[in-house]
Chain A
Amino acid sequence: MPPQRPPTSAPRPGGVTAVSSLAPDGLPKPDSDDMCPVCKTIRYLNRDMEFLINPECYHSMCSSCVNRLFNEGPQQCPYAGCHRTLRRKGFRSPFFGDLSVEREVDIRRRVNQVFNQVEDDFNTLRDYNNYLQMVEDLTFDLVHGDEPTKRKAEAQLQQWEAEHKTEIERNRRAGKEQDEQSRRRLAAEQAAARQRRLDAIKEAEEEKMEKIKIKEMEIDSLERGQPLPDQQRVQLKRRGNKAVEAVTNLAAGSSSTADAVGKLSIRGLKEKKKEPRPEGPYDPFGGLDLTPSRYKIHGGLSHPNVEKYRSDKAHVTGGYSFDEYTSRAMFEAFAGLGVFIEDERDVGVGLVASEVVGMGAALAAVGGDGPGLKMELD
């Protein structure tokens, strides 16, 4: 398939080594958009001419040239002075008009895959900025540097990759996750907006229908010769309800979206869920503490007068524990603690004074002989 050639183009031997308009960095000028630099076809003759580049050397040529030259297998680049061997598989259409930018972006893609740390990885902003600048310097060396600097930068890149392998992998995953999250959020927002829009349309429609209905009713009632104030009142009420509903809906909607935004926008600061505390045994008193706070009870009451009955067969029967007696004696002894006799005497209620005195004596007797009962008086 011989390419069409404009009659005015300068005859070139072979027509394959042709580069006339080169920018200083060896790439074609960005706006030579209308003529293929290889076969000199102009857009006027071939309206859907498409330019392709090969990221080996970024020399652009039209798709028919690519077909013609590289169908048979790898070939040298047709540009003068470019000795790279190109394959057809490597050709693609460029994203940018300016091919130097295309090349830069390709390099950046590679650099970015290695240097993908984010602000959270640094302690201070300054460190982060220095890191950014280091990356940028490296990229610049790769893009604009001469051979030795390029090689050096390349080595640095590989070194960094080797050193920070795990971090890179982690950040890549985190970045992907974040992208996914933001995409999902966007989609959700759009869906919500669409839903709201539909609702609004429906509401408007309903209102319209209602209006028509009311009008018809009015006419009907006029026909019958009686006004219908009730219906109108109902109508008003309904509209009021709707307004209230709308307001509450709005409030709910805004709060929920605010929540969503608040949750999603903070990355890495999510609070870990706490495990539920293990449930203790059932407490019938609901946490009420029955242990006495004013005093402590030691082992048990031991008194020679009591001890001797402990093993006495006459006093032991089935179902009766001797401790019952002692604990009861103890309870009775201390039940009066915290009761202020002086006050109660004044009032004249409660125990008879003599009883109190007797109890005090008993207490003293027990306390004296007992195995060191202590009381807190407060």
Chain B
Amino acid sequence: MEFFIDDLRVLFPYPRIYPEQYAYMVDLKKTLDAGGNCVLEMPSGTGKTVTLLSLIVAYQMSSQEKRPLIYCSRTMSEIEKALVELKALMKFRAERLGHEEDFRAMGLTSRKNLCLHPDVKREKSGSVVDARCRSLTAGFIQEKKRKGEDVDVCVYHDNLDNLEPHNLIPNGVWSLDGLLRYGQKHTQCPYFTARRMMSQCNVVIYSYHYLLDPKIAERVSKDFSKDCIVVFDEAHNIDNVCIESLSTDITEESLRRATRGAQFLENRINEMRDSDQQKLQDEYEKLVEGLRGDDETREEDSFMANPTLPEDLLKEAVPGNIRRAEHFVAFLRRFIEYLKTRMKVRQVISETPPSFLAHLKEYTFIEKKPLRFCAERLTSLVRTLELTRIEDYQPLQEVATFATLVATYEKGFLLILEPYESDTAEVPNPVLHFTCLDAAIAIKPVFDRFSSVIITSGTISPLEMYPKMLNFETVVQESYSMTLARRSFLPMIVTRGSDQATISTGFQVRNEPSVVRNYGSLLVEFAKITPDGIVLFTPSYLYLESLISMWQGMGVLDEVWKYKLILVETPDAQETALALETYRTACKNGRGAVFLCVARGKVSEGVDFDKEFGRTVINIGVPFQYTESRILKARLEFLRETYRIRENDFLSFDAMRHAAQCLGRVIRGKDDYGVMVLADRRFKSKIQQLPKWIHQALLGADTNLSTDMAVSNARRFFKMIAQPFRTEDQEGISIWTLEQLKQHQRKMQEELIRELQATEEKRVNQQQQAQQAQQFISARERPDSDYEMDEDDEAELMALDP
């Protein structure tokens, strides 16, 4: 369908549109016009991706400057899905417009997924693929080859150099598969094709990390122009992604390997001094002059980049005491040894970067400034030494990154040393957590650089939390409700068991037999009445295990077994994948199954339980984080100190966004239906924190139910939903045809006009009234007004006189 928003011609690849999709587009356009950021929440399964893409592509094509779109998503499958949608959209546009547009879009993922080299692609681990790829494609290897030396190279990569550098791949939408196929056919490397063509693309779709992780972002995403539109989809966890990208954990093992890495470096330097003194000298001179090696070919395959350094520092020369290679290696060794000593302490320590630096200086005479240049200097050295087995230096790099970060940021970070894994452990296994507490640090460059950043997800409530935590301003901040022709999902809050005892997973009561039995009977009852699949979420693996063992003792599982197959999620990814597969088979067979999972596990985030795969979702307990974790405590404290977010507010916000994620797993579209059960007393006070679309569907009567009432409610719901229902019934309510859309637009326009008229009238009225009042007053006051004026004037003159 084709319609206009203001004067923007939008081509939408489906014959019908949801009202919320239209509203979403309008707000999106508002944001783009204003050139600001926005936070938008749209119910899951209402076609968010296609809405986004069709509006932004329309926007791009209509304007002169063609602002490129960077679309960031979370998982590979979501990236693929977005690419498929985009492909369909472009096909539709071509049909409608009658010609192919000058348009190029591409997905990017890791080397591991895009490699064609027959040997390298067989490697299992991503980092090994990266390292091997680098050893075949690095700049100095190519140089050697040009000189005629016999070195291994990658033919796929080298073929790229024979092509026109700005036209490595023709126009069109290239999915990851498509890239691979094209690469195979033309013997060119898909990964480097995508990397090099990125700045020539209208749309780039990739993972968050390419933009948020400063170590990667600088290499991959630095060529994008300032006017890019950046979209973070499924962004409800964006703060955690930001924090993880700047946090590092250092263990004794990694330090040992770092020492070994430093040893290798030293050996290599000695070798080179004997054979190729000139190169070291060149590097040294370059560092003296303060020049950065930033020629293009090297940038692409560089070993690593420095984490966010302030711009002025990047222009400065490397400090004199780490300029020479052997000085730098000794410097690194001293730092590593210091860390090793610190790790020997047998009590928990948490300290801020300034106090760490002060202590470091006292014992090793390492100043802050050279520490700051550590990562940068290591990169340069690795480049100079022409190292190929880069995986050996990974731990060293981690230490260097840590050094740079700790010296760069005074605020927003904390060092926590935990000597034991748990409170009861006897054998020490020290870990030095360097944790980022401020999500705003990692995402700040994105907001600084790009004018429009759009953060969107199915569950991103409460909306105002995100601008607060990530420290940005929004133009539009909106949550859309779900327009439904019938009640297609039934959220309920169960606070009591059948015996009227309250149920909760609060720490004191969670293992009480009565609570566990009540949860068990809840599951049994729903297993009886639900067709097909049931998904049950618990707050943690630990609690899930204890529930299962207690249910086994109570005979709950035997009872459930009569109706459904029981499957359990485990921390092991492969086991879970197998369980999921079995679950799907069971649901397709008609008998159905119960899947017991964990609210923060893999299943709750990326797996969809659409249609028959999920007819009931039961959330047992509010999925709070483990509050005894020191890292979490530090972060809570930071949030309170810096952003005035109270501990309880944040914890409950975090728990509810995960709960909402879990609930959202079962409704994946407007035809889908299901029951959502929130089984905990504490949910009652947190209704406001649910996303608007769930919150609106939750009736007041359903917020304080006991198990039997919930079951009878659900039974009624399933009966109601079983009635025949045609698509036509939805039209005009939850689905609009083109006519209905136009009607809506007309109505909105009329309303707008009426509003404007009203305000205009009001204004005019006010003016008239004011005038009348003025006239009235002046008429009344005229007789004695002359005298007064005179006196006033006189006073004024007097004042002016001196």
26 A-B pairs within 8 Å (CB atoms) are namely: A95-B341, A96-B337, A96-B338, A96-B341, A97-B341, A98-B337, A101-B334, A105-B365, A108-B365, A125-B316, A126-B317, A128-B320, A129-B288, A132-B321, A133-B324, A133-B327, A134-B320, A136-B320, A136-B321, A140-B327, A140-B330, A182-B354, A193-B641, A197-B637, A200-B640, A200-B646
14 extra interface residue pairs, beta carbon distance < 8 Å, beyond A96-B340, A101-B334, A136-B320 = A98-B340, A108-B364, A109-B365, A125-B317, A128-B320, A129-B317, A132-B320, A133-B321, A134-B320, A135-B321, A179-B358, A183-B358, A204-B646, A246-B644
Encode contact with B along A80-109: 1 for CB under 8 Å, 0 otherwise. 000000000000000111100100110011
B333 beta carbon closer than 8 Å to chain A: yes
Closest Cβ neighbor of B641 among chain A residues: A193
Contact B358 A105 (CB under 8 A): no
A131 beta carbon closer than 8 Å to chain B: yes
B319 beta carbon closer than 8 Å to chain A: yes
Closest Cβ neighbor of B648 among chain A residues: A204
B785 beta carbon closer than 8 Å to chain A: no
Which residues from A are CB-within-8-Å of B341? 95-97
Closest Cβ neighbor of A101 among chain B residues: B337
Which of A97, A109, A132, A197 is the one whose CB lies under 8 Å from B319? A132
B760 beta carbon closer than 8 Å to chain A: no
Closest-CB distance, B369 to chain A (whole angstroms): 8
Closest-CB distance, B338 to chain A (whole angstroms): 7
Encode contact with A along B309-332: 1 for CB under 8 Å, 0 otherwise. 000000011111101101100100
Knowing A101-B333, A104-B330 touch, does A112 contact B365 (C-beta < 8 A)? yes
Alpha-carbon distance A197/B646, docked complex (angstroms): 11
B355 beta carbon closer than 8 Å to chain A: yes
A293 beta carbon closer than 8 Å to chain B: no
Which residues from A are CB-within-8-Å of B326? 140
Which residues from A are CB-within-8-Å of B358? 179, 182-183
Give residues 99-154 of A contacting B (CB, 8 Å): 101, 104-105, 108-109, 112, 125-126, 128-136, 140
Most chain B beta carbons < 10 A, residue from A129, A131, A135, A246: A129
Alpha-carbon distance A112/B361, docked complex (angstroms): 11
Encode contact with A along B333-345: 1 for CB under 8 Å, 0 otherwise. 1100110110010
B4 beta carbon closer than 8 Å to chain A: no
Give residues 177-209 of A contacting B (CB, 8 Å): 179, 182-183, 186, 193, 196-197, 200, 204
Which of B334, B344, B352, B355 is the one whose CB lies under 8 Å from A104? B334
Knowing A104-B330, A140-B327, A250-B644 touch, does A131 contact B320 (C-beta < 8 A)? yes
Cβ-closest 10 pairs across A and B: A132-B320, A129-B320, A133-B320, A136-B321, A132-B321, A101-B337, A108-B365, A96-B337, A98-B337, A136-B327
Number of interface residues of B (CB under 8 A): 31
Which residues from B are CB-within-8-Å of A130? 320
Contact A129 B365 (CB under 8 A): no
Give residues 334-381 of B contacting A (CB, 8 Å): 334, 337-338, 340-341, 344, 352, 354-355, 358, 363-365
Which residues from B are CB-within-8-Å of A109? 365
Alpha-carbon distance A135/B365, docked complex (angstroms): 12
Alpha-carbon distance A182/B330, docked complex (angstroms): 28
Which residues from B are CB-within-8-Å of A128? 320
Encode contact with A along B623-661: 1 for CB under 8 Å, 0 otherwise. 000000000000001001100101000000000000000
Alpha-carbon distance A210/B85, docked complex (angstroms): 55
Contact B365 A97 (CB under 8 A): no
Encode contact with B along A242-267: 1 for CB under 8 Å, 0 otherwise. 00001000100000000000000000
Encode contact with B along A145-181: 1 for CB under 8 Å, 0 otherwise. 0000000000000000000000000000000000100
Most chain B beta carbons < 10 A, residue from A97, A136, A179: A136
Alpha-carbon distance A182/B640, docked complex (angstroms): 24
Closest Cβ neighbor of A105 among chain B residues: B364
Alpha-carbon distance A131/B326, docked complex (angstroms): 17
Alpha-carbon distance A136/B324, docked complex (angstroms): 9
Alpha-carbon distance A204/B646, docked complex (angstroms): 10
Closest-CB distance, A52 to chain B (whole angstroms): 16
Alpha-carbon distance A134/B321, docked complex (angstroms): 8
Which residues from B are CB-within-8-Å of A140? 326-327, 330
Contact B334 A105 (CB under 8 A): yes
Closest-CB distance, A60 to chain B (whole angstroms): 15
Which residues from A are CB-within-8-Å of B646? 200, 204
Which residues from B are CB-within-8-Å of A246? 644
Contact B334 A129 (CB under 8 A): no
Closest-CB distance, B326 to chain A (whole angstroms): 7
Alpha-carbon distance A126/B318, docked complex (angstroms): 10
Alpha-carbon distance A200/B644, docked complex (angstroms): 10
Which residues from A are CB-within-8-Å of B364? 105, 108
Which residues from A are CB-within-8-Å of B363? 95, 105
Encode contact with A along B93-114: 1 for CB under 8 Å, 0 otherwise. 0000000000000000000000
Alpha-carbon distance A136/B358, docked complex (angstroms): 20
Closest Cβ neighbor of B326 among chain A residues: A140
Closest Cβ neighbor of B361 among chain A residues: A179
Which residues from A are CB-within-8-Å of B333? 98, 101
Closest Cβ neighbor of B354 among chain A residues: A186
Closest-CB distance, B192 to chain A (whole angstroms): 37
Give residues 274-332 of B contacting A (CB, 8 Å): 288, 316-321, 323-324, 326-327, 330
Which residues from A are CB-within-8-Å of B355? 186
Closest Cβ neighbor of A189 among chain B residues: B352
Closest Cβ neighbor of B343 among chain A residues: A97
Alpha-carbon distance A200/B648, docked complex (angstroms): 12
Contact A129 B337 (CB under 8 A): no
Contact B323 A129 (CB under 8 A): yes
Knowing A125-B316, A130-B320 touch, does A97 contact B340 (C-beta < 8 A)? yes
Which residues from A are CB-within-8-Å of B365? 105, 108-109, 112
Which residues from B are CB-within-8-Å of A196? 641
Which residues from B are CB-within-8-Å of A197? 637, 640
Closest-CB distance, B176 to chain A (whole angstroms): 46
Closest Cβ neighbor of A140 among chain B residues: B327
Contact A133 B323 (CB under 8 A): yes
Which residues from A are CB-within-8-Å of B641? 193, 196
Which residues from B are CB-within-8-Å of A98? 333, 337, 340
Closest-CB distance, A260 to chain B (whole angstroms): 14
Closest-CB distance, B464 to chain A (whole angstroms): 15
Which residues from B are CB-within-8-Å of A96? 337-338, 340-341
Alpha-carbon distance A6/B716, docked complex (angstroms): 80
Closest Cβ neighbor of B358 among chain A residues: A182
Most chain B beta carbons < 10 A, residue from A112, A133, A246: A133
Alpha-carbon distance A131/B367, docked complex (angstroms): 15
Alpha-carbon distance A96/B321, docked complex (angstroms): 22
Closest Cβ neighbor of A112 among chain B residues: B365
Give residues 305-337 of A contacting B (CB, 8 Å): none
Which residues from A are CB-within-8-Å of B640? 197, 200
Closest Cβ neighbor of B331 among chain A residues: A136
Closest Cβ neighbor of B352 among chain A residues: A186
Alpha-carbon distance A109/B366, docked complex (angstroms): 11
Closest Cβ neighbor of A108 among chain B residues: B365
Closest-CB distance, A182 to chain B (whole angstroms): 7
Closest Cβ neighbor of A135 among chain B residues: B321
Closest-CB distance, A236 to chain B (whole angstroms): 18
Alpha-carbon distance A112/B321, docked complex (angstroms): 13
Alpha-carbon distance A135/B327, docked complex (angstroms): 11
Closest-CB distance, B316 to chain A (whole angstroms): 7
Alpha-carbon distance A231/B2, docked complex (angstroms): 58
Closest Cβ neighbor of B328 among chain A residues: A136
Give residues 201-229 of A contacting B (CB, 8 Å): 204
Alpha-carbon distance A140/B334, docked complex (angstroms): 13
Closest Cβ neighbor of B640 among chain A residues: A200
Closest Cβ neighbor of B316 among chain A residues: A125
Alpha-carbon distance A108/B363, docked complex (angstroms): 10
Alpha-carbon distance A186/B326, docked complex (angstroms): 35
Alpha-carbon distance A130/B338, docked complex (angstroms): 26
Closest-CB distance, A331 to chain B (whole angstroms): 20
Closest-CB distance, A63 to chain B (whole angstroms): 17
